[in-house]
Amino acid sequence: MTEALTGEDRVALFARMLLMRRFEEMIIHVAQDNTDIGRNHLYIGHEATGAAVAQVLQPGDLAHTTHRNHGHLIARGADPGKALAEIMGRAGGLNQGRGGTWHLTDREAGFRSTSAMVGGSIGLSIGSGYALRELGTDNVAVAFFGDGVLDEGISYEALNFASQYDLPVLFVCENNEREGAHETSRLAASRLTDVPRALGIEVATVDGHDADAVAARTAELLVTVRGGRPVFLESQLERWPGSHQVKPEFVTGVTDLSHAWDPAAISGEHAGWIRDFDPILRFARTLLDDGTASREEIAAIDARTIETMAAARAFAEASPYPDPEAAAHDVFAERSAADA
């Protein structure tokens, strides 16, 4: 299980990351054309983390995510058409239009409930970990969350609980906070990992722009988690310059994969982020450099991905809005005689 990823795995991992990126770019396109999709928190720049973790998880592992969930869902196999339809509030969406961007949920892909409350995912993950253990499975729970979650007391309670009761939970903190900027968190600890460490949890830190590194480290850590101890992984990320926008904008432009082999062509205000921190371009470069994939193969993956997105958008746009009647459905799984 901790064996290194094969070349094939790595190409699949790249394809997964690209799918996540093209999906978010599609959201920006839709937002530009459509005012009804609300406030989106895109996963751009985080792809290496979500994709690599997804790559080394096993079927049956349960994951919990946050307001910034699109990438996690797509990474674990949620249908992009249904995901987009959900973000557009359509009946054909993953959640039948009830959830929207903040709550994408796909049971098949291992997501039972997606909370947009800061601290939501980490709390629920304790329940998943407990249930998976009590049901005698070999599966684990994963909590994805941002650095801001460490501000909430429930994160501390969750870490303490998992440590106390040896729950099989992998905590994945995607830290996109700039040193001292206090954009999404205000933690007095000098490092995020000081908190789980104080609670007796094994911690690890990884460069979140490096897909290989995330995959390798996560695979290693999962051995411990499957063995019955929680682990805390901090993925260190440079914040995507677009991530503070209320309405997503193409601040870094549509990703141009040729920048992987032609960095000199990168330009604009955010050239630095694109060159140094875009995990997709970085992984493409690595795959090219170590001969795992050719430019043509990469271009072909991209072409297929772009086709997938076109089909997804066509599906979503053709999906109707939910029937107003549906507004009162599924409040309960079981209705009683007393329900109107």
Partner 1 sequence: MPRKSYAQAMLDAILAAFESDPTTRVIGPSFAQGRGAPETQEAFFKTYGARIMQPPISEGVTAALGAGAAMAGLRPFVNFGTSTFAFEAWNQIVNEAANAHFMSGGQVTVPVIYHMFAGIRGGGGVQHSQSPQSMYANCPGLKLVLPASPADIQGLIATAFRSPDPTVIINHTKLMGLEGDVPEGDVAIPFGQAEVKREGADVTLVATSLMVQRALDAADQLAGDGVKAEVVDPRTIVPLDRETIIASAAKTGRLVVVDEAAATCSIAAEIIASVAEAGVALTAPPVRVTRPDTPVGFSPALERAAEPNVEGIAGAIRRVMG
Ligand X SMILES: Cc1ncc(C[n+]2csc(CCOP(=O)(O)OP(=O)(O)O)c2C)c(N)n1
User: Which parts of this chain interact with Mg ion (CB under 5 A)?
Assistant: 146-147, 176, 184
- Scan residues 222-261 and list those touching ligand X (CB under 6 A): none
Rule CB under 8 A: choose which of 94, 221, 274, 284 binds partner 1.
94
- Tell me if 118 contacts partner 1 by CB under 8 A: yes
CA proximity to 77, closest of 104, 38, 46, 117: 104
For 21-48, the DSSP string reads HHHHHHHHHHHHH-STT------TT-HH
Dihedral of alpha carbons 256, 262, 263, 265, sign: negative
Note the residues at the interface with its own copies (CB under 8 A).
151-157, 159-160, 163-164, 186-190, 194-195, 197-201
- Scan residues 154-183 and list those touching ligand X (CB under 6 A): 176
- Tell me if 50 contacts ligand X by CB under 6 A: no
Residue 81 CA to residue 94 CA, distance in Å, equals 9
Residue 331 CA to residue 30 CA, distance in Å, equals 30
CA proximity to 80, closest of 153, 22, 139, 123: 22
Q: Which stretch binds partner 1 (CB under 8 A): 49-57, 134-142, 196-204, 256-264?
A: 134-142
Q: Which stretch binds ligand X (CB under 6 A): 112-120, 159-167, 191-199, 276-284?
A: 112-120
User: What's the half-sphere exposure (Cβ side, CA atoms, 13 Å) at 64?
Assistant: 26
Binding partner of 41, given partner 1, its own copies, ligand X, none, CB within 5-8 angstroms per partner class: ligand X
Q: Using the 8-state DSSP alphabet, how is residue 238 labeled?
A: P
Q: Which stretch binds partner 1 (CB under 8 A): 152-160, 206-214, 222-230, 307-315?
A: 152-160
User: What's the half-sphere exposure (Cβ side, CA atoms, 13 Å) at 293?
Assistant: 25
Binding partner of 194, given ligand X, its own copies, partner 1, none, CB within 5-8 angstroms per partner class: its own copies
Residue 228 CA to residue 129 CA, distance in Å, equals 10
| H or E element, residue 56 | helix 47-56
CA proximity to 236, closest of 24, 22, 45: 45
- Tell me if 185 contacts ligand X by CB under 6 A: yes
Of 50 and 127, the one with the shorter C-beta distance to its own copies is 127
Residue count, binding to ligand X (CB under 6 A): 15
Q: How far is the CB of 151 from its own copies (least distance, A)?
A: 7
Q: How far is the CB of 167 from its own copies (least distance, A)?
A: 11
Of 135 and 188, the one with the shorter C-beta distance to its own copies is 188
- Tell me if 186 contacts partner 1 by CB under 8 A: yes
Binding partner of 116, given ligand X, its own copies, Mg ion, none, CB within 5-8 angstroms per partner class: ligand X
Q: How far is the CB of 227 from partner 1 (least distance, A)?
A: 19
Neighbours of 250 (CB within 10 A): 14
User: What's the half-sphere exposure (Cβ side, CA atoms, 13 Å) at 305?
Assistant: 23
Q: How far is the CB of 186 from its own copies (least distance, A)?
A: 6
Q: What is the token pair recorded at 141?
A: 């729970």
Q: Which residues bind ligand X (CB under 6 A)?
A: 41, 67-68, 116-119, 145-149, 176, 184-185
